[in-house]
Structure 1
């Protein structure tokens, strides 16, 4: 959990403003949810490994008897393992998807049939802090609830690429797969249903450990031998691991023969919609999306299309999402189609360290000690009325250091203010 100095905070807010503006331009509306949710909801088995990283909130007013009860013993010691579920009734949200599902279930009657939501807010996970991974971080989510068609996925992808383009991150692409295609492939190869979650964990490492590493790990963990052999034969095909132009022929080439038409048709419709929205004619050779039959995504609640945002400057994803049609039904009692895309804001900001606001007028008025307060207030008000950002600074012996600090804080001009000065008489100079 980090502090941010003024320049860092200003840069973050500029990036957030750009993302928010592009999302709103695509018809999404912003909502806000509490930072805490019920413990049972956060630990309902839909958050995957994130549930293990949740910060839990102890019930208020706990006494020694309650602690002994949670320990299951009257002679508990400080080292006794406690039943966290018995002690906690709330937790800090670890993502924005679970709160959105609860929000929609609570407010469905007040929302449109197809609801397009923006959520931009901090979340908390008990991570081991490292670059790009923090215990408190901001997520930028857009979700569409109530639309089961490929149009929903296409809207999310187009809006996200638009936001990334507006930030100046040229060359970003979206890798796309479908969890139904993964399930069908594993069944086609012969993996038993019970072993598939573990197999997917290993396949998800394909980019890191390669084909040989994946096959070795599957054999080491005792996966069905014939299925591993079938997977190996498929992975050794020259065309299997190629990311190709997004179209029916490419998708079918990347999958084993006999892939279900329903899945392929959904993906083709998605590619067509993105191509048209981006103004790119078929066969979409320059479309910034690619079909990846081995993209997994770790969250267990995905039921269909999944995607990740990539950029050539880094070897990790900058965001991701997918369809989670079964989640809202946990809270509402009936299934509602839903799909979302989340930008990894902290990683995006790290790539935009040179982002500045040099074009906006921001002036430092450096005044002598004897300038009357009323004059300073009048001068500041005049510049503010013109649309400038204004800071008053009393002159110091080391004027250079003062101006360097102001420049680091985003100011781009200055003027010295003697007593009796008027707005028109001030000489405004650039801050180099």
Structure 2
């Protein structure tokens, strides 16, 4: 992979104001806007080259089987702009989620479901899927566990088939675990990043703080947790480690749409990798509507490129045929004796046992009688008693 693309990944990870895609400078999407900064404006630039992620994911092959039609993917994030041509006519909004000041939710929605445009072919994984915009943050991207949990519940109650969550929090285990369980009861697959896109920095050293042992909702049971990689499989040096992810997907140096207009933006992070996986889940649910959310997650992980963790392969997820789980071992029948067991051997054994017992009694009796008989010169006991009386 060209060194220029690796340099691009580093630029994006450091949250530079713009990043290069060939000869074009694209604005970088962020998760949170600093206080006082205006909302993101429409980008006037477009990528001139096909994004590396589209080729790696093999989307053209996958689309011969499914494009996600009939499936709804909820985007629980900063909102999704309703003035995005690549998503035109396919965005349903809950509350005020149609306003996206930050641009992150719109960017993720584009990775999930943007229709292919002219030219370089920037497109989402499931270009016929529908998007349900659900606010999971404040207007500037700040969020709490309660906001994310409420977003997940709302998305499930609205009938979403796949629920994309654009955040990873070090707290909120109980609230977010319960929200995920609520979604599972409605057979909605929750997809979330295994770590935040960036870690907070130490005020003294300026270095990112150590990664927390768990992030939520990704660590909740039933969530498909996703880590990111960039061109050539690498990751920026200061990117949070993604060990423990269920699946890896392109997330660094990726291109998508913004909250309005037809221009492109640029971004990096596990939240963007999770968007790719959410799109792939839509492809699988459209092609295999009989599968449960748990089975869709298994289809994605087992059908991925062999690695540790596996890497997303939409074509593999769509075409892999999983065998049924091993059947339980047959229960062994209890041993039974024949109903009409032969009586002769049993009688013979009892006779032998009785004879042996009688012989033992005879020997024991002799051991007592013989010494006493010798002592009396073998005379009857009553005769000896009469002789003693006569002599007296």
Q: Please identify which structure carries the higher strand content.
A: 1
Who wins on radius of gyration, i.e. which is larger? 2
Q: Please identify which structure carries the higher helix content.
A: 1
TM-score (norm 2): 0.24
TM-score (norm 1): 0.22
**Greater RCO, 1 or 2 (C-alpha within 8 Å, sep 6+):** 2
